[in-house]
Chain A
Amino acid sequence: MGGMIWYLFAVMAGASAVVVAANKNVVHCGFALLFTLLGVGAMYAFLGADFLAATQMIVYVGGILVLVLFAVMMTHKVQAVRLREELIQPFAALGTALLVLALILLVVHRTAWPLAAGHEPAPTTAQIGREFLTTFLFPFEFASVLLLVAMMGAAMIIRDRKPREASPGDSAAEVPGGPAAGLPGGSAAGLPGGPATGLPGGASGQAQGGA
Chain B
Amino acid sequence: MLEIGLRHYLTLAALLLSAGVFTVISRRNAVVILMGVELILNAAALSFVAFSRYVTTGIVGQLVAVFVVVVAAAEAAVALAIVLAIFRNFQTVHVNQVDRLRK
| A113 engages B25 (CB within 8 Å) | no
Q: A64-B73, A114-B55 are in contact. List 4 more A-B contacts (CB 8 A).
A: A56-B69, A96-B22, A97-B25, A108-B11
| A153 engages B78 (CB within 8 Å) | yes
Q: How far is the CA of A67 from the CA of B76 in the complex (A)?
A: 8
Give chain A's interface residues, CB within 8 Å of chain B: 2-4, 6, 10, 13-14, 17-18, 20-22, 26, 29-30, 33, 36-37, 40, 43-44, 46-49, 51-52, 55-56, 59-60, 63-64, 67-68, 70-72, 74-75, 77, 85-90, 92-94, 96-98, 100-101, 104-105, 108-109, 113-119, 124, 127-128, 131-132, 136, 139, 143, 146-147, 149-151, 153-155, 157-158, 160
Q: Which residue of B lies closest to A131 (CB)?
A: B63
| A48 engages B22 (CB within 8 Å) | no
Q: How far is the CB of A25 from chain B (nearest CB, A)?
A: 10
Residue-wise, chain B 35-76 has the 8 Å CB interface mask toward A (1 for contact) of 110110010011001101111110110110111011111111
Complex A-B, nearest 7 residue pairs according to Cβ-Cβ distance, in ascending order: A150-B74, A93-B26, A93-B25, A97-B22, A101-B18, A104-B14, A17-B19
Q: Among B46, B62, B72, B81, which residue has its beta carbon within 8 angstroms of that of A51?
A: B62
| B49 engages A96 (CB within 8 Å) | no
| Contacts known (A13-B12, A154-B77, A154-B81); A33 close to B35, Cβ less than 8 A | yes
Q: How far is the CA of A14 from the CA of B6 in the complex (A)?
A: 16
Q: How far is the CB of A50 from chain B (nearest CB, A)?
A: 10
Q: Among B22, B25, B83, which residue has its beta carbon within 8 angstroms of that of A71?
A: B83
Within 8 Å CB of B22, what residues of A?
Answer: 21-22, 93-94, 96-97
Within 8 Å CB of A13, what residues of B?
Answer: 12, 16
| B38 engages A33 (CB within 8 Å) | yes
Q: Which residue of B lies closest to A17 (CB)?
A: B19
Q: How far is the CB of A129 from chain B (nearest CB, A)?
A: 11
| A118 engages B53 (CB within 8 Å) | yes
| A157 engages B78 (CB within 8 Å) | yes
Q: Among A43, A127, A146, which residue has its beta carbon within 8 angstroms of that of B71?
A: A146
Q: How far is the CA of A26 from the CA of B28 in the complex (A)?
A: 11
| A10 engages B8 (CB within 8 Å) | yes
| A115 engages B12 (CB within 8 Å) | no
